[in-house]
Amino acid sequence: MAPHIDDTSTQESGQNEPRNEPKDGEYIQWETLPPNGALNRWSHVLTREHEFPGAQAMLYGAGVPNRDMMKNAPHVGIATVWWEGNPCNTHLLDFGKIVKKSVEKQNMLAWQYNTIGVSDAITMGGEGMRYSLQSREIIADSIETVTCAQHHDANISIPGCDKNMPGVVMAAARHNRPFLMIYGGTIRKGHSDLLDKDINIVTCYEAAGAYNYGKLQTNCKSGPGANATPSDVLEDITQHACPGAGACGGMYTANTMATAIEAMGLSLPGSSSYPATSPEKARECERAAEAIRICMEKDIRPRDLMTRAAFENALVVTMVLGGSTNGILHFLAMANTADVPLTLDDVQRTSNRTPFLADLAPSGRYFMEDLYKIGGTPSVLKMLVAAGLIDGSIMTVTGKTLAENVASWPALDPGQKIIRPLDDPIKATGHLRVLHGNLSPGGSVAKITGKEGLSFTGAARVFNKEHELNDALAVGAIRPDEGNLVLIVRFEGPKGGPGMPEQLRASAAIMGAGLKNVALVTDGRYSGASHGFIVGHVVPEAALGGPVALVQDGDTVMIDAIMNRIDVVRTVDGVQGEYEIVKEFERRRKVWVPPKMKPTRGALAKYARLVGDASHGAVTDLGGSAW
């Protein structure tokens, strides 16, 4: 049997520490040829001599052209998260075909396949959203399955939407074979003539809130548009918000993950900011084969790149650009899968030292398409490397360091308005805050840019499912004259949802309605497009009996993004303190009856049984014996 790369080997760079390999017993141990030689290191098991004649017959039938290629050519899997019906993903099969041709030009065998996706925008606010986060696990499972079962020697993954990207990276950490990611790219901006401004998918949700509260109207002063009704305006927005292929255009979760993964060195320079329909995106697909060959020749593998320094880079870029709370969930999951220690405390520490600089949607004026025009992600990384905010020495899929990758890119123009100077940030510290307190003793994640203020106190209004809040907003039942309200949506966590659905429909409706007296708290998630005073990922979740299950209407909730706390406070006989609410929670717990969780069968039921909490990434393969 050919030798293995064991967990005591090191990279050719001369590292003294053991290489980060999947641990013995956690995964099947695959027979492999040693590095720095033949590139068909895994596939040779099937194609050498005559040990697996049936496998070779099938491979000939699938397109292997001759005996020489059968015996010597490496096998590269090309995984597209392609499916029709979602702009983020509809074009990815075509990208996969470009990559396949480029791989074949390198005298390697290219095998294209796809995995599943779920559109958050289409499922938002409905029962289908419960399938969104669990699709990340299915994507990871799918790519791990095909890569390992078919003995592929490398993998190129092409994701388009937000869970797609952590899914393909988690798969890479599991199979740990040469890998790179090609982001499907951002969508172009839409335009509404009746609003007389550029729009995007989030405009639809915010406009719905404005419509329900009687605040949606045309901005046309003359011509046919001047007589447009609110319904006409909403129809104009929905018809023009998504002008073609590509992922949602702001610094929402898809672009958050793409920029972070580029900062980790797992994609080619510029991948995260090239629009889906740009010529640069097609050229990136053509360059992928050369890059994956370099990774194969130099034995650069995913776990070599998924280092602690790389995750620190991802966190910094997310804070600088104003990225999504979902990014935190996905970074924790990716790090967990790669056996890299990363916790919520690390997130907060990074937030404390990182300024928020980008005037990007959802809280800002610009979109990824605008950032692309001033140099894109590489120009931002170049600035951050020069400032010492990220580590430019990390290795990347090009075989060069991150600093070397961006050295030839233009510096940001001092006159551009999208990325603020380091000495004049939007906020001196990060907009993502990790909150603890008696409402979330296991942690929660807040998205607070500072534009909403840094603290909020209000009376709790409790909703046991997301649809209850959506129904209340649809009829205008949350009013601006009710004083400060903390709207709590519970039983929507990883297990309780099940699936930890995003709640953009509610958060956007609140913004569109102009309800500035409202904060949102949930054990579920928010879309990267959500903004306002929002706190999600509350741990322990309500389904597990966390304190959020015990909150009642009228309780006073205090959120403090300076002290990083979220607490229910209670005054008894004029005295306010922790003791009072602890005793009250103890009383309520004695009479609390856990709800019967549904469903009990199918994909969501399996997910609910396996999934861990949000503070550890909501992963389904936490380890430990299966027997």
CA 194 – CA 226 distance, rounded (Å): 8
Give the CB-side neighbour count of residue 393, counting CA atoms within 13 A.
Answer: 4
Identify the burial level of 345 via C-beta atoms within 10 angstroms of its C-beta, where 0-12 means exposed, 13-18 middle and 19 or more buried. Answer: exposed
Of 303, 332, 318, 302, nearest in space to 384 by CA: 318
Asked if 302 contacts 172 with a C-beta cutoff of 8 angstroms, the reply is: yes
Number of neighbouring beta carbons within 10 Å of residue 119: 19
CB atoms within 10 A of CB 476: 11
Q: Which amino acid is at 78?
A: I
* E strands in 292-409: none
Give Cα 593 distance to the centre of its chain. Answer: 34
Separation between Cα atoms, residue 542 and residue 466, nearest integer Å: 13
Give the E-state strand segments of 359-413 in sequence order: none
Rounded CA-CA distance 27/257 in Å is 26
The residues with which 572 forms a beta bridge, in sequence order, are 575
Task: Measure the CA–CA gap between 453 and 518, rounded to whole angstroms.
Answer: 12
Per DSSP, the residues of 22-70 read PPBTTBPPPP-PPSSS-S-TTTHHHHSTTS-HHHHHHHHHHT--SHHHH
Tokens in use for 526?
Answer: 């928010």
Contact in structure between 448 and 561 (CB atoms under 8 Å): yes
Annotated catalytic residues are: 527
Collapsed DSSP state (helix, strand, coil) of residue 455? strand
3-state secondary structure at position 617 = coil
d(CA 586, CA 554): 18
DSSP code for 549:
G
Q: Is 272 helix (H, G, I), strand (E, B) or coil?
A: coil
C-alpha 81/C-alpha 92 separation (Å) is 7
Q: Which backbone phi and psi does 174 adopt, to 5 degrees?
A: -75, -50
Burial of 6 (0-12, 13-18, 19+ CB in 10 A): exposed
Could you tell me the CA-to-CA distances from 470 to 190, 476, 505 in Å, in that order?
26, 10, 7
What is the chain's length? 627
Residue 68's contacts (CB-CB under 8 Å, 6 or more residues apart) are none
By C-alpha distance, which of 535, 543, 444, 463 is closest to 495?
A: 543
Q: Let me know: does 455 contact 437? Beta carbons within 8 Å.
A: no
Which tokens is 365 given?
């004026």
Hey, which bits of 168-242 come out as E strands? 179-181, 190-192, 197-199
Beta bridge partners of 485: 459, 518
Q: Rounded to 5, what percent of the chain is helix, strand, coil? A: 40, 15, 45
- Measured distance CA(406)–CA(284) in Å, rounded: 15
